[in-house]
Amino acid sequence: MPDRHASVRGPAHPTGSHLAPSGSSAIRPAIRVFVAALGLVLAAAIPQAAPVAAAGDEVKQISAGARHVCAVKTNGTVWCWGFNKQGQLGDGTTTTRRRPVRVNLHMGSTRTALNNVVQVAAGGNFTCARRTDHTVWCWGANGQGQLGTGSVGGLTGVLRQVKLGNPAFTAVTDLSAGGAHACAATTQATGIPRIVRCWGKGTSGQLGHEKYQSSPTPRNLYHTRGPLSLGPDHSCAAPQPSSITVEQDRVHCWGHNGSGRLGVNDTAKRSVPSNVLRKNVGTGGISELTGVKRVAAGRAHTCAVFHNGRISCWGENASGQLGNGNRKVRKLASDKGTEWRQTVKNVKDAKQVAAGYDHSCAIRKNNIVWCWGSNSHLQLARKASVKDKKTRVKVNGLTGVQQLALNGSKAGGSFSCARKSDRTVWCWGSNKNGQLGNGSSTNNKSPIRVRF
pLDDT tens string 369-380: 999 999 999 999
Tell me what pLDDT residue 334 has. Answer: 74
| Least confidently predicted of 99-108, 163-172, 290-299, 367-376 | 163-172
Model confidence at 426: pLDDT above 60 = yes
> For the segment 269-326, what is each residue's pLDDT rounded down to a tens digit?
999 999 999 987 777 789 899 889 999 999 999 999 999 999 999 999 999 999 999 9
Q: What is the pLDDT of residue 170?
A: 80
pLDDT one-digit tens code per residue, 193-241: 678 999 999 999 999 999 999 999 999 986 676 789 999 999 999 987 6
* Rounded Cα distance, 335 and 389, in Å: 22
Average pLDDT along the chain: 85
pLDDT given at position 48: 37
Q: Which residues contact 163 (CB under 8 A, 6 or more apart)?
A: 148, 149, 150, 217, 218
Res. 14: pLDDT tops 70: no
Mean pLDDT of 403-420: 95
Q: Are 182 and 175 in contact (CB under 8 A)?
A: yes
Q: Which residues contact 360 (CB under 8 A, 6 or more apart)?
A: 296, 298, 301, 303, 313, 321, 322, 323, 344, 353, 354, 371, 372, 373, 406
**Higher confidence at residue 181 or residue 279?**
181
CATH number for 55-222 (one of 1.25.40.10, 3.40.50.1240, 2.130.10.30, 3.40.50.1100): it is 2.130.10.30
Between 157 and 358, name the one with better pLDDT. Answer: 358
User: Which of 50, 95, 88, 68 lies closest to 427 in space, CA to CA?
Assistant: 68
Tell me the pLDDT band of 54, cut-offs 50, 70 and 90.
low
**Local confidence band at 51 (pLDDT 50, 70, 90 cut-offs):** very low
- Is-contact 273 221, C-beta < 8 A? yes
